[in-house]
A = this chain, B = another copy of it.
Amino acid sequence: MKPTTIKDIAKKLGISHTTVSRAINDHPSTSRKTKNRVRKAAEAMSYSPNMAARGLAMGKSESIAFMSTRFAAPFISNVLDSFEQRAFYTKRYVHGIMPYSTRNEESVKEALLKQILRGRNADALVMLTIKPNERILAEYNRVKIPVILIENSMKGAHSIMVDNVSGAGKAAEYFIKTGRKNIGMIVGEIVQPPSHDLNMSAVERKKGFKSALLDHGFELPNRNIEETHAYIYEEGKRSLDNFIKKGDRLDAIFCAAGDIVAMGVLERAKELGIKIPEDIAVIGYDDILAATHLDPPLTTVRQPLEGIGIMAFDLAIEAIEGKLKEDKHIKIDPELIIRKSA
**A98 sits at the interface (CB 8 A):** yes
Interface positions of A from 276 to 301, Cβ below 8 Å from B: 289-290, 292-297
Of A29-37, A112-120, A173-181, the one with at least 4 CB within 8 A of chain B: A112-120
**A156 sits at the interface (CB 8 A):** no
**Complex contact B48–A115 (CB within 8 A):** yes
**Complex contact A1–B143 (CB within 8 A):** yes
From residue A295, how far is it (CB to closest CB) to chain B in Å? 4
**Complex contact B77–A95 (CB within 8 A):** no
**Complex contact B294–A118 (CB within 8 A):** no
**Complex contact A119–B51 (CB within 8 A):** yes
User: How many A residues, CB 8 Å from partner?
Assistant: 60
User: 1/0 per position for A37-64, CB-CB distance to B under 8 A?
Assistant: 0000000001111111101100001000
Q: A51-B121, A118-B50, A293-B267 are in contact. Are A74 and B71 (CB under 8 A)?
A: no
Question: Which of B53, B78, B103, B295 is A85 in contact with, Cβ under 8 Å?
Answer: B103
**A257 sits at the interface (CB 8 A):** no
Residue of B nearest to A94 (CB): B108
From residue A296, how far is it (CB to closest CB) to chain B in Å? 8
**Complex contact B99–A112 (CB within 8 A):** no
**A245 sits at the interface (CB 8 A):** no
| Highest count of chain B CB atoms <10 Å: which of A3, A4, A108 | A3
Question: Which of B84, B118, B120, B263 is A293 in contact with, Cβ under 8 Å?
Answer: B263
**A319 sits at the interface (CB 8 A):** no
From residue A5, how far is it (CB to closest CB) to chain B in Å? 9
Residue of B nearest to A136 (CB): B46
**A142 sits at the interface (CB 8 A):** yes
Q: What separation, in Å, do the CA atoms of A142 and B4 have in the docked complex?
A: 13
**Complex contact A72–B81 (CB within 8 A):** yes
Question: Which of B49, B233, B292 is A118 in contact with, Cβ under 8 Å?
Answer: B49
**Complex contact A71–B84 (CB within 8 A):** yes
**Complex contact A3–B117 (CB within 8 A):** yes
Interface positions of A from 205 to 228, Cβ below 8 Å from B: none
Q: A46-B114, A267-B293, A295-B294 are in contact. Are A61 and B71 (CB under 8 A)?
A: no
User: 1/0 per position for A60-102, CB-CB distance to B under 8 A?
Assistant: 0100000000111010011011001100100000110011110
**A15 sits at the interface (CB 8 A):** no
**Complex contact A143–B3 (CB within 8 A):** yes
From residue A50, how far is it (CB to closest CB) to chain B in Å? 5
Q: Which residues of chain B have C-beta atoms less than 8 A from A48's C-beta? A: 111, 114-115, 117-119
Q: Which residues of chain B have C-beta atoms less than 8 A from A260's C-beta? A: 289
Q: Which residues of A contact B (CB under 8 A)?
A: 1-4, 46-53, 55-56, 61, 70-72, 74, 77-78, 80-81, 84-85, 88, 94-95, 98-101, 103, 105, 108, 111-112, 114-115, 117-121, 139, 142-143, 233, 260, 263, 266-267, 289-290, 292-297
Known: A3-B118, A3-B143. 11 other contacts (CB 8 A): A1-B142, A48-B115, A48-B117, A49-B118, A50-B119, A50-B120, A84-B103, A233-B289, A267-B292, A290-B293, A290-B294
